Structure 1
Amino acid sequence: MRSHAIIPVVLAFAVAGCAHITAADRAPRTSVLERLKPSGEPVWREDLNDPVLRDLLRRVDAASLDEKTALARLARAHADVIAAKAAGSLQVGIGANAAVGGRTFSSSASGAVPSLEASYEIDLWGQLAKGRDAAAEDAQAATFDLTRARLLVGEETARIYVALRGAEAATETARQRRDLSQRAYDLVSLRAGAGAAGGEDVATYRRNLVDAQVRLQEATSEVERQKIRLGALLAETQPWTPPGGSGLPTPSEALPQSISSAVVDRRPDVMAAFARLSAADARRAQAVASAQPQFMISAALGAPDAAIVNLLDARSLAWALAATLSQALVDGQAGRARIDAATAEADAADLAYRKVVVQGWAEVRQAVVDATAARTVLDQARGGLADAQDAVRRGRIRHTAGTLDGLGLALLEDRQAAAMEDHDQAAARVLIAQLQLALVTGG
C-alpha cells in the first residue's frame, strides 16, 4: 500500500480518540467543592425541632469535606466497576504498520498497511465475573460509607450545636452569678466598713467574686470554641455566628427503653462491612479461577500479529482468526500466593464484619443506658431548680417584710442560678443522648 493510503488510518485514529475522550476530560479539573455534592435530602434527620439547627444541618451536609471525600471514593469505586466490566467485553483496536527505506541512499520505497484487531476472553471459570462482582460489592460498600459519613457529620453538627447553645446558656448564668457575687461582695464590704463583718468575710466574698469572673470567662471562651468548630464543619475559615434568640433545644420527654434487634442490621457501617466481606469472597474466587487455563479468541484484518503470521507460515495476511489456550505449569507458587492472600483478605473482612456487628449492639445498648441515666439526672435537676425557685420566692417575701437582708437574698438567688446551671447541663446531656440514640439506630 502506498504511503498516502495511511491518511484514512490516521483519520480513523482521530475518530477513535474522540470517541473515548470527551471535552470534559480534556478540560482542566473543575472545583471539587462545587462538583462533589451529596444528592437528596440529608440522611441525618434528628434536628431537635430547632429551625436554626435544621438549616445548619442542610448547610453542613452540602459543604462537609468528610462527605466530599466519601463521594470521591464512591466515584473511584464506580470507575472500578466500569473497568471490571470492560475486562470481560470485546476489545477492538485499530492500527497501522508503515515503513520507508531503500537498498541504497539514492533510492527509496514506502508502504503502509492498516489493521483492525478484535479479541475476546472466554470466561471459562468465572474469573472475570468474580472480578465484576467484587467491584460491584466495593461500590456498594462505598455507597454505605457515604451514608455513614453523612450520619456522622450530622450527629457531630447537632452535638456541637447543643454544646454551643449550652455554652451560651452557661455564659448567661455565669454572668448572673458574677453580678450576684459582686452585689454580695459590695454588701459585705459595707458591713465591714460599719464594723458588722470581719476581714475574713470580705476575703471570702472577694474569692467568690473572682471565681465567678473566671467561670464567666471560661463560658465565654467555650462559646467561641464551639463557633469555630461549626465553622470548620462548614469548610469555612471563620467561626459560625448563630442567629440570636434560639436557646438550648427542649429535650424529648419520651426516650426509648429498648430498641428492635433489626436496627443493627440496617446500620450503614454494618452493611458496608458485609459488602466488603462479599467483595473479599469474590476476589478469592477470582484468584482460584485465575489459576485455571485461560482461553482467548482473536480476529484481525490487515496486518495481524507476527505470531499469527508465523503460525500460518505466510508472509502477509488479509485476515486471521486465532485462539489461545494457556496454563501456567511452574510459577514459583505465585498462584498459590494469590489464593492465600485473597483468603487472608476474606478472613480479615469476615472478622471486621463480626466486630462491627458486636460494636453496633454494644453502642445501641449503651445508648439506651445513657439515655435512661440522663433522664434521671434531668428529673433530679428539675426538682432542685423548683426548690431553689420556691426558696427565692419566699426569700423575696421575707426581704420585703424586712426579715431577710439583701445579702441573704443574694445568696438564695445565687443558689437558684446554680440550680439553673445544673438543669441546663442535665438538659444538654439528655439532648446528647437523643443524638447518640439517633446515630446508633441509623439517623
Structure 2
Amino acid sequence: MKGHGIWPLAILAWGIVGCASPETDDANSLRVPARFSGEGAEGPVADGWMADFRDPRLRTLVREALTNNPDIRLTAARLKAAVADAHIAGAGRKLQADLVFAGSRTKRSSSTGFTLNTSRANRFGPSLDLSWELDVWGRLADSRTAALLDAEQARANLQAARLSLAANTAKAWYNAAEARLQVQLAGQTLESYLKNLAVLEDGLRRGLVQALDVRLMRTSVENARNNLALRQRQHDATRRALEVLVGRYPRNELSTVAVLPSINTAVPTGLPSALLKRRPDIVAAQKKFYATHRRVAAARKELLPQIRLTASGGTSSDELKEVVDLQRNVWSLAANLTQPLLSGGRLTAQVERARALREQARHEFVQAALTAFQEVETTLAAEDFLKDQETALLSSADEAGKAESLALADYQRGLVQIVSVLEAQRRNFDAQRSLIEVQNQRLQNRLDLYLALGGQFEAQPTE
C-alpha cells in the first residue's frame, strides 16, 4: 500500500487530461487552485464541528443515531463482509492441508475355463493431503491486495456514512426547530387576527365599521387557521422524520426546541488538494480504483502458467485395525505446471472486463472529486449570500412590525382603509416567516459545508 501518496491527484489528472498510465501520471497536470474561491478562515479543517452549535441535546441525538440507525448498521455489516473477503482472498497463498480418511470395498470377477471366480477386497487408509500454489507471477498477491483495498473502501464508506448521518441528524433537528417556530408564529398571527376581528365585530354592532371590513378580517382569520394547520402538519412530519433517523418508531413523541442558534464564525477550509485525502467518499472511490487496477493485473496473469505442489502421506491397509501401523505407510509428492491454451476467449474477456471496470472506477473517482469541489465552493458562496439575506430580513421584519402598528393606529383614527391594515399584517407575517426560514437555511448550509469539507463531527482525542 505504499507509494499511493500522489495517486489521488494523479487519477484525477488522468481523468481530466487523458494521460496514458495511472502509474506514471504527473500530478502537476491537474489544475487544482491553491485555495478555494469562497471566503473561509485560514488554516486546516478542524475536527469537532458539532461543538460550534453548543447544543448538548443535539450531541445526544447524534450518538443515538450512530448507535441505532439501520443504514449505519448495514454499512458496518458490509465492512465486516469485506474484511472476511480479504481473509478469503489471502488464503490462496497459504499452504492448504486436508485430513482424509478413505474406505472402499471392491469386487473383482474372473473366469478360468467354465469357472467364474469372484473376490472382494477392502481398503482403508487415513492420509494428510497438502497443496500449495507457487505465486510466481504475483497473481494471488494482486487478488489479495484488491480484496484488502475493497475492505479499505468499505471502511471509508462507513466513515462517510457516519459523517453524513451526524450532519443529517443535525439538519433534521433544526428543521424541526424551524417548524416549531413557524407554528408559534402562525399561532401568534391567528391570535392577533382574532383580536382584531373581535374589535371589528364590536364596531360593526355599534355601527362604527363597515361589514366589508369585518368580512375581510374574517378571511384573514381563516387563512391564518389554514396556515397554522399547515405548519402543525409540517412540524409533525419533521419530528417523525427525526425519530426514524435516530432509530426510533415515528410516534411523534420526540420533544423539540424553538431555538435556532446563530453561528457567525468563519470555517477553516484548508487546501483544495487536501480535500482529496480528507473526504471519506473520495477516499472510497480512490480505493475502488486501486482495487480495479490490481484486478486488471491479476486477470492478465491468469494467462500465465500456474505451478502447484502437492503432497500426500498416510497408511493403507485392507484391515481397519491396521491403519495405524506405520509400516504400511504410503506417500506421494507431485508438481504440476498448467498453461492455459484454449478457453473459448474467457480469459481474454476477463482481462477486458477488468480494464473496463478500472475505467469505470477512474471516472467515478473524477466525478466524486469534482462533486466535492463543487459542494465546497457552493456552500462557501452561500455563506455570504445567506448572511446578506438574514441582514435584509432582520431589517424587513423590524420595519414590517412597525408598519403594522402604524396601519392599525391609523385605521382606528379613520385615516386608512382596513385593506391597508391587512396588507401591513400580511407583510409583517411574511417577513418574520422568511426570517425564520433563512436562519434555518444558514444552519443547513453550515452543516453542508462541514460535510463537504470532510471534517469529523467530534474532536479526535489527543495522545
Normalized against structure 1, the TM-score is what?
Answer: 0.79
**1:89 has 2:100 as partner:** no
The answer to whether the aligner puts 1:143 opposite 2:152 as a matched pair is no
**Which moved further from structure 2: 232-241 or 135-144?**
232-241
Report deviation, 1:299: 1.0
Query: Higher RCO, 1 or 2 (CA under 8 Å, sep at least 6)?
Result: 2
The one of 79, 82, 90 equivalent to 2:84 is 79
Output aligned runs, 1:18-417, within 5 Å.
45-46=49-50, 48-100=53-105, 110-239=122-251, 241-243=253-255, 246-256=257-267, 260-265=271-276, 266-302=278-314, 318-388=330-400
Q: Percent identity?
A: 24
In the TM superposition, what is the alpha-carbon distance from 1:247 to its structure 2 partner? 2.4
Q: 1:325 Cα shift?
A: 0.3
Q: Is the 8 A contact 1:119 1:297 kept in 2?
A: yes
Amino acid at match of 2:242: L
User: What SS is found at the alignment partner of 1:172?
Assistant: helix
Which residue matches 2:448?
A: 436
TM-fit CA distance, 1:254:
2.4
**8 Å CA contact 1:46, 1:435 repeated in 2:** no
Aligned residue type for 1:97? A
- Listed as ranges, the gaps of 5+ residues in structure 1 are 1-42, 305-315
What is the letter of the counterpart of residue 77 of structure 2? Answer: A
1:351-395 Cα offsets, whole Å, 9 max, x none, are: 110110111111111111222211111111222233345667889
- Tell me the secondary structure at the aligned position of residue 331 of structure 1: coil
| Residue 425, structure 1, aligned to residue 401, structure 2 | no
Contact 2:96 2:130 in 1 (8 A): yes
Q: Is the contact between residue 49 and residue 249 of structure 1 (CA under 8 Å) also seen in structure 2?
A: no
CA drift of 1:263 comes to: 4.5
- Cα distance change, pair 337–101 in 1 and its aligned pair in 2 (3 A): closer
CA RMSD of aligned residues (A): 3.1
Separation in 1 of the partners of 2:222 and 2:171? 31
Deviation at 1:423, TM superposition (A): 2.1
SS in 1 for 2:240: helix
Paired residues of 2:62 and 2:246 also in contact (CA < 8 A)? no
Distance 1:202 1:117, change over 3 A: same
CA distance in 2, matches of 1:349, 1:139: 16
CA distance in 2, matches of 1:279, 1:168: 48
Q: Deviations over 1:160-195 (max 9, x none)?
A: 111100010111111000001111112222222222
CA positional deviation for 1:242: 3.6
CA deviation digits over 1:249-286, x for unaligned, max 9?
31211244965313521111110000000000000000
For residue 421 of structure 1, report the CA deviation from its aligned partner.
2.6
Cα distance in 1 for partners of 2:123, 2:344 equals 45
Contact 1:94 1:114 in 2 (8 A): yes
Distance 2:269 2:391 in 1: 20
Partners of 1:395 and 1:80 in 2: how far apart? 74
Q: Which deviations, in whole Å up to 9, do the C-alpha atoms of 1:205-243 show, x marking residues without a partner?
A: 111001110111111111110111112112222335344
Asked whether the 8 Å contact 2:236–2:252 carries over to 1, the reply is: no
Alignment partners' CA distance in 2, 1:83 and 1:137: 14
Q: 1:300 to 1:260 in 2, by over 3 A?
A: same
Amino acid in structure 2 at the alignment position of 1:139? A
Residue identity opposite 2:375 in structure 1: E
**Once the 2 structures are TM-superposed, how far is the Cα of residue 418 of structure 1 from its aligned partner?**
4.6
Structure with bigger helix share is 1
- How has the CA–CA distance of structure 1 residues 350 and 289 changed in structure 2, closer, same or farther, with 3 Å as cutoff? same
* Matching residue's letter, 1:63: N
**How many Å separate the matches in 2 of 1:188 and 1:259?**
61
Quick one: structure 1 residues 291 and 103, their matched pair in 2 at CA, closer, same or farther if it must change by over 3 Å?
closer
What is the aligned residue count?
386
Which residue number in structure 2 is paired with residue 22 of structure 1?
Answer: none
The amino acid of 2:235's aligned partner reads: V
> Aligned equivalents of 2:137 and 2:106: distance in 1?
48
| Paired residue type of 1:439 | L
Decide which moves more: 340-349 or 254-263: 254-263
Quick one: distance in 2 between partners of 1:276 and 1:282?
10
SS at match of 1:94: strand
Deviations 1:127-175 (A, max 9, x none): 0000011001100000010011111211211111111000101111110
Does the aligned pair in 1 maintain the 2:172–2:241 contact within 8 Å?
A: yes
Q: Secondary structure at the match of 1:291?
A: coil
TM-score by length of 2: 0.76
Tell me the residue number matched to 2:324: none
Mean CA deviation greater in 128-137 or 411-420:
411-420
